[in-house]
Structure formats: structure tokens, C-alpha cells
Chain A
């Protein structure tokens, strides 16, 4: 079972009903990876539909303002649908087609993964149901409407904290009932094997492009890679290409109102080892193994778990994980808008906040890459509300 795990982390902790589907998926994914037709098809859609490669843009004005290192932005916000999520849903929808499954389901927090799933379902004419916490539907109303416009059904989840955790549980329950004709497109590097590996691989195009473009622009690899970590798919996508190379890998978790407040989503910094949604990783839980409610201003990071490979990178010391509070993320959001003309997603604003803290202390020739995993249009209403602006 070695290939199921990242050290002690990962695995496949699901009800028996789902085990055969995971076996099937792992086998089909292995076949697809070895199939040049699949690789070519995915490449085609990544270029011609998703809009890859995305730019690696040097943020000169921002770097000047902060002082210190050179800052490059990986512009995943320029992908079709507005975030990196489409890299993964495109790969998985092609797999669903290979497996002959006419229906896909997804969980979504901020709605970006839901939109990316609804999009590929529309593209290939598949039925699509998206589970979303009722609280997230409220704060990400624009994305709910986008999914519906794309022909998906959005199913509100009212249990628990009514956010991403409950949406994921509900999607797993749906899958247990429909597994024979439905593929579950998990949106992050979480869940039972093979999802953490497979989603990482589909997102790894981010890091491959960064390496190529950085060599072209600077003639060397970057020194720091910074990405936000909820489940952690944009971060794994950025890190994967560099895990065996030199750059320091920095993940930024959602610090919410601060780690001492109990209102955060920092699973690695403030959680403990446990099992959630099929994998062994770090989770936010009490001393009885009951999972606790989380908080983040960013719906996409508001989750009590994290991908098992991040847990492994943390345990081995290969990657470092810091936090940014709601307030720091908001400040970074405004900074990027005002100094570079880029409105980032609240999730990506956490990565930016990490860079804002890091860059001023670095030498001027240091190269920092920040993953702008998504654009912020979806967050405008929420930010206006938080800041007391009447639109």
C-alpha cells in the first residue's frame, strides 16, 4: 500500500462501498498517464480552452513599494473561469469520459472549483451536481449563479458549519449512492488515494511553466515559492516541480482572526494528525477526534484539513507553513490592486500577504514567485460588506 501514502500520511479511509471506485480510478489514471492520446488531448484543452500557459509577470511597482526581493506573480487568475481549478477539472473530466461516466459531482467552497467543474461538464455534455455549504452560497453568490448558468445544479448543504467540510461530506454521500455512473471530481489535493496524487499531477503544470519562464527571464530558478494552502492544490501545483530542487517552499494558511482565537483554518500550524475525508493528515479537531468548526474570510481556505502531501512536506521539513490573518490578506488584496492593477481572489491574497511579510527582509537579487491562484471578482461583494461599503 506504499503508493497510497506520503510517509505516514494519505491513505484510503472510506466506506467499503467507495473502495472499488477508488481502485478503478487509480487504475484508469495510471493507464491514462501512459497513454499518449490522453496526454495530447489534455494538452490541447489546456492550451486552447484553459488558456495556458499563464504569464509569469514581474511585479516591479509592488516590489519597489515593499523593498527587498524581486517578486514574480504566476497568473493563474488568467485561466478560463478565473482560477487554477480548471487545470484539475479538465484532467478529471477526460478521465470520467474514459471511464464512461455520464455524471460528475463536486464539492466547492469559494465556488471556483464548482464553476470549473460545471464548465467542463458543459464542455463535454455531462450532468453535473455541485455541493456547496449554505454559508458559502451566501458569501459567493456570484459563483452560484455562474454554475447555474453553466447548467449545473447547485445543492446547498445546511448541516454543521455550512461550509466546505460539510459540502465535501455530502458529495461523498452522493457518490456512495451513485458511484456506478458518477465520477466525483475532488477539487483539491485532499481525499483518499489516488486523489491527492492525481490532483497534484494535474496542477503540476503550474510549476513546470514557472521553471521554464523563470529560466528564460532570469536565467535561474526562483529562491522562494509562495502559495496559499487550504486543501493545497495550487500550492502543490506550484511546489511539485521544485520539491527535489533548491527553492524554499512557503505555504500560507488562513490565520483568520489569529491562531489564539480558535477562529482560523490553519490545519498545519494549529491542527494535529487525524483522518478526514479519506486521508490521514493534519486536521483541526478536539481531543476526542471530533472535527471543529473553522473560519476564514476566504471561503476557499475555510476547511479543517489539508492535503496529506503538505503534511508530509511539513513533517520532513521540506516546506514551511506560515499563516496570514483575514486583516493581512485584505491588506495584501488592496496592495496588489493598487500597485499592480490586479484584483486577486481572497485565497490568493493570503499568498500575497505571505510575500508582503517575506520580501522586505530579502536581498534585492532574491527571486520570489507568488501564485495568484485566482481572480477576485467573486469576492468584491464580500469585501465591500466586510469594509462597510454600500455598493
Chain B
């Protein structure tokens, strides 16, 4: 059983949803982002998504775009990413998901990328712009390396596409809460509940919701409907607002603990 599957099993027994924070690695700098990941794990993150910054993040809103740009300017690259992961893995058993776009993986070589993921301690991979039709080769390589590949289900996905995503995904399925790109919102989309109910009827695989979640109330609502909640831009913005503050890590821990509370049903 993969580390991600094991985590969902434990959460189910405790009647909790997964809290899945996302951060852009290398932001605000390499050392701080390592401390941030460890702080997330300490404060109760169930799975952590580690963004590998990319030059053209078409699925991301302004907060993550800016963090990605700064992380790259500060020297973040694949080599630094895998050393960060290895460092994290030495200190915690929290499931780790690498999230990026397809081009860095393609240029690195899919096999080499998957091997590096496995060796450094990554458990799953999300490639935002690789739909299952184009990802057949990656899905095979990832499975061969023992990695989960988490596919996305969008509000626009047809029944046929949902079926395809559900069948091909492993670890969990990432349900995009609304149209548009990543970013923190005030309210959750009203169409979320019926969509999750429809998907629940289609699969037993864990359903996790992301895009737009920014506060404990959102997590509470999602925890009632799904198996996990992803929080990205709101966390990256907290890091951006406190990048130079001496209590940055305390703030990250406090925010994470607050969100984790909201996942307890």
C-alpha cells in the first residue's frame, strides 16, 4: 500500500479528512522552504504538495506565479528540489506529492524524473497540464517506479472524462472546485456539492478538493463532502506576507493547525 493510500486509511479510521497544504518549493528561499515543509508536517498536514516552480504556470493565479518566479530567481531547480525532498524525507514520514507542469518532466526525461522522485522520497505526482490522453506513457513509468499519479477532475469535465480520470488516477483524485486558475476565494462554489456527490457515486477512491480554499470554514465544508482539502494560494500568500518576519514558521504552524482542526468531523 502506498504511503498516500495508507494515510487515507488512517484518516478514515479517525473520521478525519486530509489536510493537504501546497507550497512553492524554493520560496522565499531554499532553506526557508525546507523549514516550512517541516513546520507543515509538525502542525498536522496529512499530505504535502511540493510545487516545482515553472516559467509558464498557466493553471496558476498571481500568488503562485509570483512565488514561482521568485523561487526560480533564488536558484530553485530540479536538483535543489530533489535534495530538499530527501532532506524532508529523512525527518518525516508525511506523504509527499510533487506538483508541476509537464515540460520540466519531459525535458528531464520521464523515467529519470520518476526515478529521482522515488529515490528522494516523493510518493505521488501531479502534472497540471498532462491530461490522461497525453499521459499514457507517464502513467506507466510512474506506476513502474511505485509513484501515484493524481489526475484532475474539473467542473467542465464530462461524464466520460470523469470516468477516464477516476480509472487512471492513483492516490486520490484532485477535484478542481471551480473554473479558473489557483487562487484564494471568499466562498466555495455552489456546484461543488452535487459534483462531489456524482463522483462519490462513481468511485471509492479518495476525493480531494482544491482551488479557492482559503479558510477553516471552507475546510469544514469540504471535509463533510470529500476525503481531503488542498490549500495552496492562501498558504503561499501567508508566506509571502511574512517572508521576512521572524515568526514566519510560527504563523505557518498556527495556520496549519487551525485548518487541521477543521478536518475533524
Q: What residues make up the interface of A, taking CB atoms closer than 8 Å to B?
A: 1, 4, 11-21, 23, 159-160, 165, 169, 172-173, 176-180, 272-278, 280, 283, 285, 287-292
Contact = CB atoms under 8 A, between A and B. Distances in A.
Contact of A16 (B77, B78, B157): B157
Contacts of B56: 165, 169, 276-277, 291
Nearest to B129: A13
Nearest to B81: A288
Interface of B: 54-59, 61, 65, 69, 72, 77-78, 101-108, 128-131, 133-134, 151-158, 161, 165, 176, 179-181
A288 B181 contact: no
Interface centre among B56, B57, B130, B156 (most CB of A within 10 A): B56
A165 B56 CA distance: 8
Given A13-B134, A15-B152, A16-B165, A289 B105 contact: yes
B251 to A, nearest CB: 27
A63 B42 CA distance: 75
A274 B107 contact: yes
Given A15-B152, A159-B69, A176-B180, A288 B106 contact: no
Given A12-B133, A12-B134, A169 B58 contact: yes
Nearest to A275: B103
Given A17-B156, A160-B55, A292-B55, 17 more contacts: A13-B130, A15-B128, A16-B152, A16-B153, A16-B176, A17-B152, A159-B65, A169-B56, A173-B61, A178-B179, A274-B103, A277-B56, A277-B58, A287-B107, A289-B54, A289-B108, A290-B55
B71 to A, nearest CB: 11
14 contacts: A13-B129, A15-B154, A16-B153, A19-B131, A21-B156, A172-B58, A173-B61, A176-B181, A274-B103, A277-B58, A288-B107, A290-B55, A291-B56, A291-B103
A288 B81 CA distance: 12
A285 B69 CA distance: 15
A370 B85 CA distance: 54
A7 B151 CA distance: 26
A283 B133 CA distance: 22
Contacts of B107: 272, 274, 285, 287-289
A4 to B, nearest CB: 8
A11 B134 CA distance: 7
B104 A180 contact: no
Given A14-B131, A287-B107, A179 B158 contact: no
A290 B155 contact: no
A272 B134 CA distance: 19
Contacts of A16: 131, 151-154, 156-157, 161, 165, 176
A18 B152 CA distance: 12
A278 B65 CA distance: 18
A285 B65 CA distance: 18
Contact of B157 (A11, A19, A178, A180): A19
A169 B62 CA distance: 12
A62 to B, nearest CB: 40
A291 B129 contact: no
B180 A173 contact: yes
Contacts of B61: 173
A180 B77 CA distance: 36
